[in-house]
């Protein structure tokens, strides 16, 4: 089954007991806005998970603006909400799926495959006159046991090595260390941020040297749904399918829709650099050595 589900699909299964709907709405710069919106109205039966409080851990010196949550802490939160290892989760937001995709990626990282994203998000659901409510459900706690999949992650040291080797190979294509075996770094931010222009979220603009740019919103249609597999394959046609792809963004959130889109397009080996650009620039060695573009 695809990683996304339609509004009609969810409506037909709205009250199935094995399913948990999760509202992931969150507005950068307005940390209370998502929960306030949830409390005002949401899809019936939905519970709320906060990007900063639930789907991230507190910021540290390194790790970026939205460090990954501790698996055991997140598992305890899921358990309290009645989400167990047999649950089917449908996530939605109102931010083109970026926060819902963060939950989608995190659950898969914890070894849970039965997780999907609602196409179009909450506004599209409401626009179709589907039911909404302000009632917050009472959930019976369950047990979620994480089975962490570390192979889904790429760490800072590995990304730095890939970047340096990519630049070296680009400078000397005939070298024995051919870049054809290297992972490809994909920057998911808008092109102006990739180019170091109009940077409003991080203190330093630019991109990881050697990375190519595929803006995450270009994977979607005007209504916020993801493009078809064929359309996404065409969109990512410049990337080799026989190589590993490491995806990053500003803080590891908007990279997640790109991970989903790449997998939908047929790429089999896609990993996330969770700390992303905000983690990269936290290391002075990059500044000292001029490793910013």
Rounded CA-CA distance 122/94 in Å is 6
Rounded CA-CA distance 265/236 in Å is 8
For the purposes of burial, counting CB atoms within 10 Å of the CB of 197, is it exposed (0-12), middle (13-18) or buried (19 or more)?
exposed
Rounded to 10 degrees, what is the CA torsion of 241, 246, 250, 252?
110
Rounded CA-CA distance 291/192 in Å is 18
The one catalytic residue among 22, 159, 249, 255:
249
Q: Which two tokens stand for residue 120?
A: 């179009």
Q: What is the distance of C-alpha 117 from the center of its chain?
A: 11
Is residue 24 part of the annotated active site? The answer reads: no
Active site residues: 249
């Amino acid at each position: 089954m695809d990683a996304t589900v339609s509004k009609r699909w969810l409506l037909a299964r709205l009250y199935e007991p094995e399913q948990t709907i999760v509202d992931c709405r969150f507005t950068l710069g307005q940390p209370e806005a998502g929960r306030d919106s949830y409390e005002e109205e949401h899809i019936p039966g939905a519970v709320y998970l906060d990007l900063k409080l639930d789907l991230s851990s507190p910021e540290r010196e390194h790790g970026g603006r939205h460090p990954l949550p501790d698996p055991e802490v997140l598992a305890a939160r899921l358990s309290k909400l009645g989400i167990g290892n047999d649950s089917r989760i449908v996530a939605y937001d109102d931010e083109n799926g970026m926060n819902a995709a963060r939950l989608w990626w995190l659950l898969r990282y914890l070894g849970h495959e039965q997780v999907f994203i609602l196409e179009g998000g909450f506004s599209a659901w409401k626009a179709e006159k589907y039911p909404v409510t302000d009632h917050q459900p009472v959930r019976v706690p369950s047990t979620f046991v994480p089975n962490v999949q570390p192979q889904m992650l790429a760490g800072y040291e590995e990304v730095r090595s890939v970047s340096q080797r990519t630049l070296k190979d680009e400078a000397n294509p005939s070298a024995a260390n051919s870049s054809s075996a290297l992972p490809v770094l994909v920057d998911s931010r808008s092109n102006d941020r990739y180019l170091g222009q109009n940077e409003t979220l991080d203190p330093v603009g630019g991109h990881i040297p050697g990375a190519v740019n595929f803006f995450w919103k270009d994977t979607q249609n005007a209504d916020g749904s993801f493009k078809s597999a064929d359309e996404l394959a065409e969109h990512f046609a410049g990337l080799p399918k026989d190589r590993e792809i490491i995806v990053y963004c500003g803080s590891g959130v908007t990279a997640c829709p790109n991970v989903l889109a790449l997998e939908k397009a047929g790429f089999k080996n896609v990993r996330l650099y969770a700390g992303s650009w905000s983690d990269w620039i936290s290391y002075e060695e990059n500044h000292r050595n001029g490793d910013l573009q």
